[in-house]
């Protein structure tokens, strides 16, 4: 069906009577006179009205002539008009009026029938036309899938997306590859951002003439931004990798290995203070960690099993980058120094506590009372000489101290601070290991700690945690 036929059949039922009469020589005029839809109405009218009422004009002319013949010549009609009509004439006139009334009534019936048939025949088309009108006014989301498929805007953006993906594959694949890099999230992000930076250059290669110059200049900022972003992502990835590497290094380097104790006796190139906290963890550990954080200082905790309720602080301290060492589980001189076997049994106990927290048994240890203690002689003669040798054979290393804050016997913050700072004989040493305590009874140490840190920092010391490269500090053995 052509468009012309379609529109004609749509509009004829509603506007047929009001539409201007088409020109006789136009195709539309032909449709108006001989269109298929009106013919249905005509057929219906024929059935109701009968052939006489719809006779061709030649028939009507013939019948008119017969009537003329019956009525005589014009002269005869004029003579008769002046006289009274005959009964025959009256009867003929009455028949004629009855015929006209019947014809008029039949014509009205014919028009009504035609209109009704017309409406019935065109109803489905009218419904379809209204539905189409509603669809065209409806929002896009209400459109049928078929309508959406022909949406030019959607087609444009769909094509653009495919185009960009193709560019990414063509040019991005050439410039940035992952084959030399581990498949980590940061590397994938790095590759993606680098690819985004390569797309403008790819566009410039594709476009001809002035468009190529435009593409080369306009996205330049985008390319630079992508490069900067990629560099940042790469740096972040490297830092993350380094941090993971440090974690990995600590779990392997700091773990005890038989026959391989830390052994450096040379001081570092820089002035370094190693704060060491014995006897923890305790209810003071968190306060100590907070102060260390405030100054960006690292320290070492030689821990015990005395206060198991704060065992989790071992991991907290370790996660912050502090070093965990072993001090013994019970810290009971009578027990740990009763025999070599008793000592190592106690050392293993605290080693397992620490391993549960940080995943490994550290190689750094401190004897209760230090290697120089004489109290051990009360329980076992010569045990410190034996232990200082045996622990290293098992892969441990013990660290005594070069200076103390005196908090083992002093419980005043001001005095503690003074002993640990300007009164300390260690001031001026290249590397200083300082003894402090982390226990429930040592609030004075917590109170003095900020002043201690500030003093040594002011002297140019960096505060670090012990590691395998720390200069070993050994006191003389006296038992």
Q: How far is the CB of 238 from Zn ion (least distance, A)?
A: 41
Residue 172 vs 370, nearer CB to Zn ion: 370
Q: Judged by CB under 5 A, does residue 402 bind Zn ion?
A: no
**Residue 279 or 407 with smaller CB distance to Zn ion:** 279
Report the nearest approach of Zn ion to the CB of residue 317 (Å).
17
Q: How far is the CB of 349 from Zn ion (least distance, A)?
A: 16
Least distance from Zn ion to the Cβ atom of residue 327, Å: 6
Strands 431-437 and 403-404: parallel
279: enclosing H helix or E strand: none
> Three-state SS for 12?
helix
Q: Which is nearer to Zn ion, 278 or 402 (CB)?
A: 278
**Residue 281 in contact with residue 301, Cβ under 8 Å?**
yes
Stretch that binds Zn ion, among 82-90, 91-99, 276-284, 291-299 (CB under 5 A): 276-284
Query: 346-383 b/e with 16+ CB inside 10 Å = b?
Result: bbeebbebbeebbebbbbbbbbbbbbebeebeebbeeb
Report the site for Zn ion in 26-85 (rule: CB under 5 A): none
Judged by CB under 5 A, the stretch of 80-88, 279-287, 308-316, 356-364 that binds Zn ion is 279-287
Q: Is residue 307 close enough to count as binding Zn ion by CB under 5 A?
A: no
- Per CB under 5 A, 278 contacts Zn ion: yes
**Which residue, 193 or 328, has its beta carbon nearer to Zn ion?**
328
| Residues 204-233, interacting with Zn ion (CB under 5 A) | none
Nearer to Zn ion, 13 or 406 (CB): 406
Residues 347-376 that bind Zn ion (CB under 5 A): 368
Whether the CB-CB separation of 315 and 357 falls below 8 Å is answered with yes
Here the tokens at position 186 are 């940061």
Contact 310, 262 (CB under 8 A): no
User: CB-wise, 186 or 400, nearer to Zn ion?
Assistant: 400
In angstroms, the CA 268 to CA 471 distance is: 7
Residue 32 CA to residue 8 CA, distance in Å, equals 8
Does position 438 interact with Zn ion (CB under 5 A)? The reply is no
Q: Which residue is nearest to Zn ion (CB)?
A: 278
SS3 94: helix
Q: Which is nearer to Zn ion, 114 or 365 (CB)?
A: 365
Give CA separation, 341 vs 330, 336, 348, in Å. 14, 9, 11
Q: Smallest gap, in angstroms, from Cβ of residue 278 to Zn ion?
A: 4
Does position 279 interact with Zn ion (CB under 5 A)? The reply is yes
**Total interface residues for Zn ion by CB under 5 A:** 3
Nearer to Zn ion, 404 or 421 (CB): 404
CA distance linking residue 39 with residue 22, whole number of Å: 18
Cβ 408 to Zn ion shortest distance, Å? 8
The residue count for the chain: 479
Q: How far is the CB of 356 from Zn ion (least distance, A)?
A: 21
Cβ 331 to Zn ion shortest distance, Å: 6
Q: Give 437's DSSP letter.
A: E
Instruction: Report yes or no: 326 and 336 within 8 Å, Cβ to Cβ.
Output: no
Structure-block tokens of residue 246 = 């440090």
Report residue 195 as tokens: 């690819």
Q: Kindly list the residues in this chain that would bind Zn ion in the complex (CB under 5 A).
A: 278-279, 368
């Amino acid at each position: 069906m052509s468009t012309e036929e379609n529109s004609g059949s749509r509009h004829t039922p509603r506007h047929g009577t009001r539409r201007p009469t088409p020109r006789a020589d136009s195709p539309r005029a032909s449709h108006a006179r001989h269109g298929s839809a009106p013919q249905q109405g005509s057929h219906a009218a024929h059935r109701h009205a009968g052939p006489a009422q719809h006779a061709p004009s030649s028939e009507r002319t013939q019948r008119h002539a017969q009537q003329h013949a019956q009525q005589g010549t014009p002269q005869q009609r004029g003579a008769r008009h002046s006289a009274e009509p005959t009964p025959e004439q009256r009867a003929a006139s009455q028949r004629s009026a009855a015929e006209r009334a019947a014809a008029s009534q039949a014509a009205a019936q014919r028009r009504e029938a035609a209109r009704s048939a017309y409406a019935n025949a065109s109803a489905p088309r009218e419904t379809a036309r209204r539905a189409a009108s509603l669809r065209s006014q409806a929002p896009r989301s209400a459109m049928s899938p078929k309508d959406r498929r022909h949406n030019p805007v959607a087609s444009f953006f769909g094509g653009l997306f495919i185009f960009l993906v193709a560019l990414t594959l063509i040019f991005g694949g050439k410039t940035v590859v992952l084959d030399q890099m581990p498949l980590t999230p940061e590397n994938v992000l790095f590759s993606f951002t680098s690819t985004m930076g390569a797309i403008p250059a790819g566009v410039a290669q594709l476009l001809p003439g002035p468009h190529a110059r435009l593409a080369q200049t306009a996205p330049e900022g985008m390319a630079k931004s992508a490069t900067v972003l990629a560099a940042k992502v790469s740096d972040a990835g490297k830092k993350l990798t380094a941090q993971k590497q440090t974690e990995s290094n600590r779990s392997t380097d700091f773990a005890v290995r038989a026959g391989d104790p830390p052994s450096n006796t040379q001081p570092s190139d820089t002035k370094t203070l190693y704060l060491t906290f014995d006897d923890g963890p305790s209810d003071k550990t968190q306060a100590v960690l907070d102060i260390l954080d405030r100054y960006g200082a690292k320290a070492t905790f030689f821990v015990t099993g005395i206060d198991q309720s704060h065992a989790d602080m071992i991991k907290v301290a370790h996660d912050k980058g502090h070093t965990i060492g072993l001090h013994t589980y019970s810290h009971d001189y009578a027990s740990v120094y009763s025999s070599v076997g008793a000592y190592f049994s106690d050392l293993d106990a605290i080693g397992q506590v620490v391993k549960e927290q940080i995943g490994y048994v550290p190689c750094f240890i401190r004897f209760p009372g230090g290697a120089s203690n004489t109290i051990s002689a009360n329980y076992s003669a010569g045990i410190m000489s034996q232990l200082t040798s045996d622990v290293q054979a098992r892969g441990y290393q013990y660290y005594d101290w070069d200076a103390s804050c005196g908090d083992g016997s002093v419980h005043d913050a001001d005095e503690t601070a003074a002993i640990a700072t300007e009164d300390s004989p260690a001031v001026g040493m290249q590397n200083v290991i300082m003894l402090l305590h982390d226990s429930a009874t040592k609030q004075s140490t917590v109170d003095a700690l900020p002043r201690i840190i500030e003093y040594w920092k002011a002297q140019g010391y960096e505060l670090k945690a012990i590691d395998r490269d720390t200069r070993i500090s050994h006191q003389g053995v006296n038992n």
